Amino acid sequence: MGVTVRKFDALIIGAGGAGLRAALQLANAEASVAVVSKVFPTRSHTVAAQGGVNAALANVLPDSWHWHMYDTVKGSDWLGDQDAIEYMCRAAPKVVYELEHFGVPFSRLDNGNIYQRAFGGQSQHFGKEQAARTCAAADRTGHAILHSLYQQNIRAKTHFFDEYFAVDLLKDEEGYVLGALAFEILTGEPIVIEAKTTLLATGGVGQLFRTCTNALINTGDGMSMALRAGIPLQDMEFFQFHPTGIAGRGMLITEGARGEGGYLLNADGERFMERYAPNAKDLASRDVVSRAIYTEVKEGRGCGPEKDYVLLQLTHLGRDKIMQRLPGIRETCITFLGLDPIDHPIPIYPTAHYTMGGIPTNRFGQVVVPVKDTPEDPVPGLYAAGEAACVSVHGANRLGGNSLLDILVFGRAAANHIIDVLEHNRYHRPLHQPAVDAALERFHRWDRKGDGEHVDQLRQELRKVMEAHCGVFRTEEVMAEGVAKVKAIAERVKDAVLRDHSKVFNTARVEAMELENLVDCALATVQSALGRKESRGAHSRIDYPDRDDTHWLKHTLYFKHSDSLDYKPVRTKPMTVESFPPKVRVY
C-alpha cells in the first residue's frame, strides 16, 4: 500500500508562537496551510513564557525602537545581526497591537494603555536610565498569545495535523524543499505532506541537558531535520543557563531568592561564593555563580549521596519573609521535593534555559547556507522561525522579553515572504521519490528487532554528558572529552532497538526519533563550543576568558555530514541607521 500524500501551499512544522503566527498570516492571505504538531498546539512550549514581549510603545517611560535596538545589540555581545535586530525592534509595536487585536488580554494602565514593566538590560538613551518596555498579560503572556493565535487559526481554517511527528524534509536534486515526511502518532502511519514552501518552527533543544527548564518536547526536531538535509546549524555554542535550578528537576529558583538574602552552601557547610566573588558573593553574575556551583561539585564538595548539587539556604530568612516574598519558590519546593524551604535548604544546580543558536536564516525567515563565495544563499522553499532558527537577533545572549518578540516578528516576516513566493509559484514541483524513500527508510529503521540498548537509558546518558562537558564549565579538555563521548553515544544509538513495535500510539517510537534528533544537536553544540576559543555572552571558557573581536566576531556554522565547522561574518550593518560598534559589555 502506498503512502498517503497531501498537498498544501505551505507546511508549518511546529505549533508554538512562531508557527501559529506564520500560519495565521498565510491563512488570512488565502493560502492553504498545514500545521504539523507532535502535541496538541496549545501544549507547545510557548505556553511557559511568563515574562512578556518587548516593544518600544513608551506607555510608561519614554522609549524608542532605536534604544531597544541598542540594548539588543549590546545584550547579544555584538554577535547579533544588526539588520535583523533593527527590523525586529521597528516591527515590535505593530506585532503587539496585532496581538491586542487578536484578543490577547494585555495588562493595562489606568488610562487604558498597555502596561509595560521594566526588565534587566533595558535602557533609555542608549545605555542610560532604566526603560520599561515589556508588555505582559499578567504572568501568563505566552499562554495568552498561544491560545489567541490558535483560536484565530481555527477561524481562518488552518489545517492542523495534531499529534503528527515530522521525520525528515523532502528535497529534490536541485535543492528545493518540497515538504516533509511525517507520521501520525495515533496510527503509526507515515504521510507525505507536499508543500511549495516549508517553515520549521519546532522550538529549542533544552532537553540536551540533564537539568533544564524546558518541557520534554523540546528536542530540537526541526534543527536536526535541517542538519540531515545538509543545512548547517549556527551559533549552537550559545546556550543560556540560569545558576539556580532545582537539582535533578530543572525548574528555576529566581534570583530573587538570593536577592532576599539566600546564600549557597557546599557539603562542608561553607558559603563558597565568598571564595569566588568576595564582594558580590551570592549576587555575582549568573555565569560566575554557575561556574562556582559546577566547580564545587566537580571538586567533591557537592551534597547528597551522589555529591552532585549544592544547597540554597533560606531558612534564616524566617517563615514570614519566605511566605510574603517567596511564596512561589516555597510552593515549587513543597510540590516537587516534598520539602519546605522554611525548614530545609534547597538542592541546586545550574539549569539550561534557552537556545540562542539554530537554523540560519535571513530577516525574511529564509533558511540560508554558504554556497561557494556566498555566505548566505537561500535554500529554495525552506524557512525557519523562532527558537529553532538563528536569525540572529539574540547573538551570544538573549534579553528577557525578546524571545516572544522574535517568534512573532519572524513568524510573520517568513509568512509575508512565503506569500510573495506563492504568487509566483502556482504549481507544486514534482515529488522526488528518492527523498521519500530515504525518509521512509529512516522511519522504518525503528522496526528492527533483536537485542540492543534502550532509548531512555541513552537519552539520560546523553543529557548527563552534555551537562558535564558542555554546560557552564567549558575548557578545551572538558569539551574534547565531550565530543568523544557524544560520538560514542551516537554509535550506540545506531544499534538501539524498541521493545514495543506496535503501531497504535507507540510513543516509544517518537521518543526514539527524538533521541536521534538530540544526538545530532548535541554534537553540533559541543563541536561549536570547542571551536570557539573566546568567551562571549553565554559561551564562557575558563581557558579563553576574554572576548576576542579580532578573531571571533563571526558566526559558527556546524555541518553534520562532514562533522565540521565553518564561519561567516556578523551582519554589522543595520538597515537604515549607523552600526553600533563593539564595546566592553558592562551593566
Q: Using CB under 8 A as the criterion, which residues of the chain lie in contact with other proteins when the complex forms?
A: 38-40, 42-48, 140, 143, 146-147, 163, 185-186, 212-217, 249-251, 331-332, 334-338, 502, 504-507, 510
Would you say 47 is a known binding-site residue?
yes
d(CA 314, CA 256): 11
3-class DSSP state of 514: helix
Pairing mode, if any, of strands 554-559 and 233-234? antiparallel
Would you say 403 is a known binding-site residue?
yes
Nearer CB in complex with other proteins: 135/212: 212
Q: How far is CA 202 from the centre of its chain?
A: 9
What's the closest the beta carbon of residue 538 comes to other proteins, in angstroms? 20
Would you say 557 is a known binding-site residue?
no
d(CA 349, CA 252): 10
Residue 319 is among the residues annotated as catalytic for this protein: no
CB atoms within 10 A of CB 164: 23
Would you say 46 is a known binding-site residue?
yes
Nearer CB in complex with other proteins: 144/538: 144
How is 179-200 classified by DSSP, letter by letter?
EEEEEETTT--EEEEEEEEEEE
Would you say 48 is a known binding-site residue?
yes
The answer to whether residues 104 and 146 touch, using CB atoms and an 8 Å cutoff, is no
The answer to whether residues 272 and 264 touch, using CB atoms and an 8 Å cutoff, is yes
What's the closest the beta carbon of residue 251 comes to other proteins, in angstroms? 6
Nearer CB in complex with other proteins: 15/486: 15
What's the closest the beta carbon of residue 336 comes to other proteins, in angstroms? 6
Nearer CB in complex with other proteins: 113/507: 507
Would you say 353 is a known binding-site residue?
yes
Contacts of 318 (CB under 8 A, 6+ apart): 342
Would you say 7 is a known binding-site residue?
no
Contacts of 19 (CB under 8 A, 6+ apart): 12, 13, 35, 37, 44, 199, 201, 385, 386, 411
What's the closest the beta carbon of residue 139 comes to other proteins, in angstroms? 9
What's the closest the beta carbon of residue 347 comes to other proteins, in angstroms? 15
Nearer CB in complex with other proteins: 99/523: 99
Among 420, 410, 565, 538, CA closest to 83? 410
Buried b (16+ CB within 10 A) or exposed e, 488-522: ebbebbeebbbeeeeeeebebbbebbbbbbbbbbb
Nearer CB in complex with other proteins: 89/166: 166
Pairing mode, if any, of strands 134-135 and 164-171? unpaired
Beta bridge partners of 37: 162
What's the closest the beta carbon of residue 91 comes to other proteins, in angstroms? 25
How many residues comprise the chain? Answer: 587
Would you say 242 is a known binding-site residue?
yes
What's the closest the beta carbon of residue 359 comes to other proteins, in angstroms? 21
Nearer CB in complex with other proteins: 161/272: 161
Would you say 270 is a known binding-site residue?
no
What's the closest the beta carbon of residue 154 comes to other proteins, in angstroms? 15
The C-alpha cell that represents 130 in the structure block: 532604566
What backbone torsions phi and psi does residue 9 show, to the nearest 5 degrees?
A: -70, -45
Q: How far is CA 272 from the centre of its chain?
A: 31
The catalytic position among 210, 258, 286, 547 is 286
Nearer CB in complex with other proteins: 146/518: 146
3-class DSSP state of 478: helix
The answer to whether residues 275 and 289 touch, using CB atoms and an 8 Å cutoff, is no
Would you say 38 is a known binding-site residue?
yes
CA distances from 55 to 104, 130, 131, 402, 481 (A): 15, 14, 11, 9, 43
Residues catalogued as catalytic = 286
Please state the residue numbers annotated as binding site. 14-19, 37-52, 221, 242, 254, 353, 387, 398, 403-404
Please state the residue numbers annotated as binding site for substrate. 242, 254, 353, 398
Please state the residue numbers annotated as binding site for FAD. 14-19, 37-52, 221, 387, 403-404
